[in-house]
Copies of this chain bind each other. A is one copy, B any other.
Amino acid sequence: MNDYISRLHAAIVNKRTAALVGIDPRWDQLPAPVIAAAQQRHPENGLLTRAAAYEDFSCRLIDIVAPLVPAIKPQAAFFEELGPAGTSALCRVIRRARDAGLLVICDAKRGDIGSTATAYAKAYLAGEDPDAAPFAADALTVNPYLGRDTLQPFVNTAQQRGGGIYVLVRTSNPGAGDFQDLTHQATPVFQHVAQAVEQLGQQTRSGGDYGIVGAVVGATYPRELADLRRQMPHVPFLVPGYGSQGGDAAAVAAAFDSKGLGALVNSSRGINFAFRQLPFAETHSEDQWEAAIETATLQMITDLAQGTPCGNLVSPSQQSTQD
């Protein structure tokens, strides 16, 4: 079995970028042609209609970005909002991405105690074998508030299956600090969480620098990102907040090690609905939403290559040329 971090880093090196594309279907943002096609198939205009549109949109997005990036991050909430029709669509979207050679990080922010946490882990963490879980993700985001013992079932399942987890350490929303910034012995809560995550990172290494337990660290606090990188040297980062939430390449650069590894930088809305936003809205009509996705993804890749250690990534073919 290949562990999660080996698979992730192989994919990052292969694509020469750490760009992670979020899949955030939102009904009021979807391109009109996608909605029209779904309404033609499901004229009742209910949850099935929306689920068909979400699936169609997500699969086309996957097909566009699959040659460009190592991984995607579907947001479970938007699919769950549609009930079982939505969760069925989520299953198929994840499967489509894996079939296209992408790694999938399911952003479901689960957390519970004991055997309940194990049930969530078994639901979402397929790891290396997509048939091992119904929501067949490689990795899952997890909430730490309930304590270390509640992270362990996720770690165990991930280790058994070649999967990974990303623990919420520092989120990117305006109120993130309400509880995460409370200081205990001059150290904020999120750094205590970081300490626990670093221990899990160390414990789950198998040879390389990083373990299979990652951290979600928002790009909206660049100085903290640098501090957390130093505090968690064995922990792969997932950095939201790039693009729509205001972070740029400079803001996320500190998440990487000098080889350009150790981090994924996520953009969701900025890519999904690029055709609605400047500068892409000027050059792409609503009918050209797919071209806008491709352009926005390529621009993100260039931006990360120029402004972060991502630019140092060397692909296997280059490496063999150099050898």
The answer to whether A77 touches B168, judged by C-beta atoms less than 8 angstroms apart, is no
Return A204 CB to nearest CB of chain B, in Å.
Answer: 18
Contact with B along A159-193 (1 / 0, CB 8 A): 00000000010011111111110111000010011
Contact of A147 among B81, B85, B178 (CB under 8 A): B178
Contact of A182 among B81, B120, B184 (CB under 8 A): B184
Residues of A58-110 whose CB lies within 8 A of B: 75, 77-78, 80-88, 91, 109-110
Task: Count contacts on A: residues with CB < 8 A to the other chain.
Answer: 58
- The answer to whether the Cβ of A222 comes within 8 Å of any Cβ in the partner chain is no
Among the stretches A111-119, A224-232, A248-256, A305-313, the one at the interface with B is A111-119
A-B contact pairs, 25 of them (CB 8 A): A24-B116, A77-B116, A77-B123, A78-B116, A80-B123, A80-B124, A81-B119, A81-B123, A83-B87, A84-B84, A86-B123, A109-B111, A109-B112, A143-B143, A145-B145, A146-B176, A147-B175, A147-B178, A147-B180, A148-B175, A149-B173, A149-B175, A150-B173, A182-B189, A182-B192
Q: How many copies does the complex hold?
A: 2
Return A145 CB to nearest CB of chain B, in Å.
Answer: 4
The answer to whether B120 touches A77, judged by C-beta atoms less than 8 angstroms apart, is yes
Nearest residue, chain B, Cβ from A77: B119
Nearest residue, chain B, Cβ from A83: B134
With A119-B80, A120-B80, A134-B47 known to touch, is A192 a contact of B175 (CB < 8 Å)?
no
The answer to whether B88 touches A84, judged by C-beta atoms less than 8 angstroms apart, is yes
| A113, A176, A192: most-surrounded residue (chain B CB, <10 A) | A113
- The answer to whether the Cβ of A135 comes within 8 Å of any Cβ in the partner chain is yes
Within 8 Å CB of A123, what residues of B? 77, 80-83, 86
Within 8 Å CB of A111, what residues of B? 109, 143
Contact with B along A183-215 (1 / 0, CB 8 A): 110000100110010000000000000000000
| A117, A145, A177: most-surrounded residue (chain B CB, <10 A) | A145
Contact of A171 among B47, B146, B168 (CB under 8 A): B146
Within 8 Å CB of A177, what residues of B? 147
With A144-B179, A168-B145 known to touch, is A113 a contact of B173 (CB < 8 Å)?
yes
C-alpha gap A123/B76 in the complex (Å): 11
The answer to whether B147 touches A168, judged by C-beta atoms less than 8 angstroms apart, is no
Contact of A145 among B84, B87, B179, B192 (CB under 8 A): B179
The answer to whether B143 touches A145, judged by C-beta atoms less than 8 angstroms apart, is yes
- The answer to whether the Cβ of A122 comes within 8 Å of any Cβ in the partner chain is yes
- The answer to whether the Cβ of A26 comes within 8 Å of any Cβ in the partner chain is yes
Q: Which 7 A-B residue pairings sit nearest by Cβ, starting from the closest?
A: A83-B134, A147-B175, A149-B175, A182-B184, A147-B178, A77-B119, A113-B173
